[in-house]
Amino acid sequence: MRVDLSTAAFRLLRAAGQVLPLPILWLLLWPVALLLSIRPNPRYWPHLEELRPLPAGLRPSSGKKKRFWSLWCRRAQLKLTDLSFVWADRFGSPRWRWCRFQGAERLQLRGSGVRPVILVSLHFGPMRILGNWLRARGLPAVTAATVGTNNFTASRRYFHRLRDRVGGLGELPNLIETGHVGDMVDHLQAGKILIITADAGEGRHLTCPWVDGCGLVMHTGFLHLAALTGAVVFPCLITSAPFFGFTIHLGEPVPDSDPGSKDGHAAACEHILREFLPVLANAPEECTSVLFKRLRIVREDPRQLAHPLRGRAMPSIPPGNSQIDRGE
32-57 pLDDT, tens digit per residue, is 999 988 877 777 777 766 666 666 66
pLDDT score at 34:
92
Residue scoring higher pLDDT (58 or 1): 58
- Position 261 confidence tier, pLDDT thresholds 50, 70, 90: low
Residue 112 in this model has a pLDDT that exceeds 60: no
Confidence of residue 124 (pLDDT cuts 50, 70, 90): very high
Order of strands across the sheet with 205-207?
205-207, 214-219, 295-297
The whole-number pLDDT of residue 105 equals: 83
In order of their start, the domains of the chain are 2-304 (3.40.1130)
Q: What is the pLDDT of residue 160?
A: 85
Instruction: Tell me which residue of 284, 296, 290, 234 sits closest to 104, measured CA to CA.
Output: 234
Q: Quick one: pLDDT at residue 186?
A: 95
- Quickly state the pLDDT bin for 149 (edges 50, 70, 90): low
Give the integer Cα–Cα distance in Å for 15 and 266.
49
Angle, vertex CA 19, rays to CA 13 and CA 25, nearest 5: 55
Q: Is 210 helix (H, G, I), strand (E, B) or coil?
A: coil
pTM beyond 0.75, yes or no: yes
CA nearest 273: which of 327, 232, 227, 213? 213
Could you count the other beta carbons within 10 Å of the beta carbon of residue 264?
18
What is the pLDDT, as a whole number, of residue 316? 37
C-alpha span between 111 and 130 (Å, rounded): 21
Count the Cβ atoms, other than its own, within 10 Å of residue 42. Answer: 10
- Structure-model confidence comparison of residues 129 and 208, the more confident one: 129
pLDDT band at 276 (very low <50, low <70, confident <90, very high): very high
The residue-averaged pLDDT of 71-95 equals 88
